[in-house]
Chains A and B, each alone.
Chain A
Amino acid sequence: MTAQAIENVLQALVAGLLVGAIYGLMCVGLALIFGVMRVINFAQGDFMMLGMYGAFYVFAALTAVLGVSGGLTPYAAILLTGPLLFIFGYAIHALLISRVSGAGAAKLDGDGHYAQLILTLGIALIIQNGALIAFGSQLISVRTSLSASAWTLPIGEEIMLFINQARGVAAIVSVAVMVALTLLIARSMLGKALRASADNPEAATYMGIDVARSHRLAFGMGVGITAVAGGLLATTLPFQPFVGLDYVIVMYAGVVLGGMGSIGGAFLGGMTIGLVQQLSTLILPTQLQNTAIFVVFLAIVFFRPQGFFGRVSERT
């Protein structure tokens, strides 16, 4: 192999890892909702899209109010958007999702999964078209001065890797948010209460845990996390109100790939998809990137005949 070919592969690998970190975070948000709390949510891509617009407008507001627009301001805006979308998700759950999930699903067919599908598709359509009316259809992005510069990483004599700084920082923020969330879920009493509520709602109630509130919190957190990932993606990708459609596939594939219940697994699942997407550009035309993701998705469905709802390792 020539040095040029090796460089291309390494470059695609780096690109895959960087975008994969964002996809991973995106998947982690859905993992909380779908993997842990078992709610089918087809609006997750649209919550992500709201995170993108949220980051765009919060950034604009920060710039206008504080007069700062320096290198890291967009990231502050993105992180501020998380809590906003958390509140939005929490409210959507309290008003709508709770009717078809948890205790509200007891009398519905298929544990409420059918009702969830229909409800969240409806929410998705409303959000998409609402966004179209509110924000228009033109492509925009969260501009950061970092996207114009790159870190260079020489390997040996002949190979030089370029790491776009916007992508690099986005990946670092993704990993940091993911680590913070993992610690929260693993260590804090709140995290333990969420896991207990998902594991055995009746027993959780006997511990004095408000299980319905756990569900709302987990849903809100899932929405907030995916929204942050959306904001990060928006620094490198122009978007419009229908951008969520592509990514809902990425998220479900990542969560299923990651073994459902696991947050860390979902992150790796998303990372895998980023890698597949970027490496596919070595052999496929760029326009077919998303086709590669679909193929992975189909392969998962094909090789996991138990479908979406089985766990990789059943619990006792």
Chain B
Amino acid sequence: MLTLDGVHAGYTAVPVLNGVSIKVEEGQFVAIVGPNGAGKTTIFRTISGTLKPRAGRIAFEGLDLADVPADRRPHLGIAHVPEGRQVFASLSVFENLELGAYTEAGRRDWKRNLDAILGWFPRLAERRSQLAGTLSGGEQQMLAIGRGLASSPRLLMLDEPSMGLAPTVADFIFERLLEIRKETKLTILLVEQRVAEALESADHGYVLEAGRVVLEGPNSALRANDRVRQAYLGM
């Protein structure tokens, strides 16, 4: 469904990604893990198109994304739930969800998606007319995920949904993601610092260090790998 092939990218002078290749198959749950500054968020930006790769190819469902502007990509079915949530702070919770449904598919499925989203995150229903900027961190994350789901995506990209959240809240979000996946069979690409949880729930994982994929494989293989166990799982 999504392939990155030898992607190089960076900001101004510094290269961040040095030839990253990643594959996400339809229906798969893929996790990317790695230390701070490895370039995980940068990978997401190149997929969404807010950062142009210097070299390499990104294709979504067989379509080369090189000439697809960033604001068209959500309409192809790519939903990006960005790092740090980035909800529209001055808009209400409900308006944030409506904006999630800005894509054609999102408008078409609005009623059904809204019911589903509010079912998974009842907290959002309680706070629907509150300004998103006044939500707690956990609530903002629920909103950011709900907003992503409202677009009726084919691929949901989540950048560190547990960032800055209390462990119980992060657990709740993780549980919901698994539930959402079970119910919708949605393809998910996840970046996470909580490596243990990420590798446990994903089918396939990539370990990124200094802008390179240093390890990849099915989750069982990664969890059994000595290097992963030492560096990320503390075993």
Contacts and interface: CB of A to CB of B under 8 A. Distances in A.
Interface of A: 189, 192-193, 195-196, 199-200, 202-211, 261, 315-316
A205 B48 contact: yes
Contacts of A199: 88-91
Contact of B134 (A192, A204, A211, A316): A316
The 8 closest A-B CB pairs, nearest first, are A208-B74, A316-B133, A203-B86, A206-B80, A199-B88, A210-B71, A207-B102, A315-B89
B79 interface: yes
B219 interface: no
Given A205-B49, A208-B102, 10 more contacts: A192-B95, A195-B91, A199-B88, A202-B82, A202-B86, A203-B87, A204-B88, A208-B71, A208-B74, A315-B90
B147 interface: yes
Interface string B41-83: 0000000111000000000000000000111111100011010
Interface of B: 48-50, 69-75, 79-80, 82, 86-91, 95, 98-100, 102-103, 133-134, 147, 151
A195 B95 CA distance: 10
Given A207-B151, A316-B133, A196 B91 contact: yes
A85 B100 CA distance: 32
B73 to A, nearest CB: 8
A19 B96 CA distance: 37
B91 A192 contact: yes
Nearest to A311: B90
A200 B140 CA distance: 14
Contacts of B87: 200, 203
B83 to A, nearest CB: 10
Contacts of A211: 71
Given A193-B102, A316-B133, A205 B88 contact: no
A206 B98 contact: no
Given A193-B99, A315-B133, A207 B82 contact: no
B102 A189 contact: yes
Nearest to B85: A203
A207 B91 contact: no
Given A207-B147, A208-B72, A209-B71, A261 B48 contact: no
Contacts of A202: 50, 82, 86
A205 to B, nearest CB: 5
Given A206-B48, A207-B102, A210-B71, A261 B147 contact: no
B223 to A, nearest CB: 31
A206 B98 CA distance: 13
A131 to B, nearest CB: 37
Given A207-B102, A208-B71, A208-B72, A316 B89 contact: yes
A261 B89 CA distance: 13
5 contacts: A189-B102, A202-B50, A203-B82, A207-B100, A208-B103
Contact of B89 (A192, A200, A205, A208): A200
Contacts of B86: 200, 202-203, 206
A192 B90 contact: no
A196 B99 contact: yes
A246 B74 CA distance: 46
